[in-house]
Chains A and B, each alone.
Chain A
């Protein structure tokens, strides 16, 4: 067998494995989410189908395959079918670039499906392709609620993509490379980037919540306001594909956060004293960190109410964007003139920025906002409904 064929086969096997693993994780994520949300609301989640509800995802999958697949008369035939495929395709592809260990650590093979030197850029590009899936899905439905949801979601996702790209610039300056492997190895030497870029991390996690349309930013599918947004006219497996794409994006976002800020596939070094070699269990650590972030996603969903749309845009453009720029300039100034002091002053500066973010985010409702509306004869603004702001 020639070399290139063997390589192709191995990549193919790894790709299929990653895709199947993601789909299984998605299925069980829905179950775990329902169980955890139930626990947080002092009730039981699904526990009838199989032991502890373990077969519930299977039942859901079989049901969604055997349901009738309707297409509204006014819908665009091609785009309506294509949109969920695009959404799931981009979501699954994005995960393949995440390294689950150092080169050659998976039975002699590299534990990633594809490796790019511009790994982060490729990942950002792929996740932003997901916008197409959602917007086209909304547009092609030929109905009013979906198109409103699609418009909202595209505006929201591109707004927060800016914050996402800008918030990792400081990190890239510190590491000096965009490949995931170099970033993880840098952290193995200097400590987790969370310590030096806590402001960057806070901005990044907020933007990724908005990017994957999770509460408190799930306006595109705000069921109480817009029925189900872009999902309104979808049924059967196409609806399931959109849902799948959302959850897979969530898993990918968790994996990026773990890789960029939490040391990726490497465990904390201080545990070495307890059990030698413990920080060298790559996949275990990566999965543990991803699970932590997934739990965070669910926890936040059970805790926070949804933003209103104008609050959301104000938060993205007036708070996230300037602070991300400030973080970049701060890191740049530090690297230009304070490099001799070591890294911890940068960590302190970052922490101060994080406190600023927390202080300001409470004021997001009125942030730099001029009161709009026509003044009456006495020069007063029209009264606002109590508690309605």
Chain B
């Protein structure tokens, strides 16, 4: 907690110092977005640029598998007290997940073109 305050403090301090000390001579050309020397076409925050659905799918899969990982952490820590029953339980869980994994594999979700 204290570390977080210190760390954020250092970041804010650096930005403030730079804002105070740096030159400020902005021109219109300087403030244009970079697009390899061309005039930028539409762009900017919230102008409805479109992206491949792949990124969305990866995020969904991450949520599913990360929750799986979250279930595994307590099991791993308490594992040596629960064997061998916990082994078969964990195996069942992993097996169910592998069914889902096989499905997305065959559906081609993990294939980028």
Contacts and interface: CB of A to CB of B under 8 A. Distances in A.
B18 A70 contact: no
Contact of A176 (B10, B19, B80): B80
Contacts of A335: 79-80, 83, 87
Contact of A85 (B11, B80, B108, B112): B11
A66 interface: yes
Contacts, number: 217
Given A143-B40, A144-B33, A169-B76, A19 B7 contact: yes
A110 to B, nearest CB: 14
A148 to B, nearest CB: 8
B34 A165 contact: no
A370 B111 contact: yes
A232 B34 contact: yes
Nearest to B36: A227
Contacts of B108: 370, 372
B6 A158 contact: no
Contacts of B34: 143, 145, 227, 232-233
A23 B66 CA distance: 32
A12 B32 CA distance: 43
A135 B27 CA distance: 27
B14 A172 contact: no
Contact of B62 (A74, A159, A237, A325): A159
Contacts of A67: 18, 22
Interface string A139-164: 11111110100010011001101100
A249 to B, nearest CB: 13
Contacts of A178: 73, 77
B11 A68 contact: no
B39 interface: no
Contact of B31 (A15, A70, A85): A70
A155 B59 contact: yes
B26 interface: yes
A88 B87 CA distance: 41
B111 A372 contact: yes
- Number of contact residues on A: which range applies? 35 or more
B48 interface: no
A66 B22 CA distance: 5
Nearest to B19: A69
A241 B14 contact: yes
Given A8-B2, A89-B4, A162-B62, A173 B76 contact: yes
A158 B59 contact: yes
Contacts of A73: 31-33
B87 A155 contact: no
Interface string A217-248: 00000000001000011001110110000000
Contacts of B26: 68, 70
Given A81-B15, A88-B10, A333-B87, A144 B58 contact: no
A309 B55 CA distance: 12
A114 B3 CA distance: 8
A281 to B, nearest CB: 25
Nearest to B104: A317
A313 B112 contact: yes
Interface in A319-365: 321-322, 325, 328-329, 332-333, 335-337, 339
Given A70-B26, A92-B3, A154-B55, 15 more contacts: A15-B3, A74-B44, A85-B8, A88-B7, A89-B8, A93-B7, A142-B43, A158-B59, A170-B76, A232-B34, A309-B112, A310-B113, A313-B58, A332-B90, A372-B108
9 contacts: A8-B2, A67-B18, A71-B31, A85-B11, A141-B33, A154-B59, A173-B76, A322-B101, A329-B90
The 7 A-B pairs of least Cβ separation, nearest first, read: A74-B44, A92-B7, A310-B112, A237-B18, A143-B33, A85-B11, A336-B87
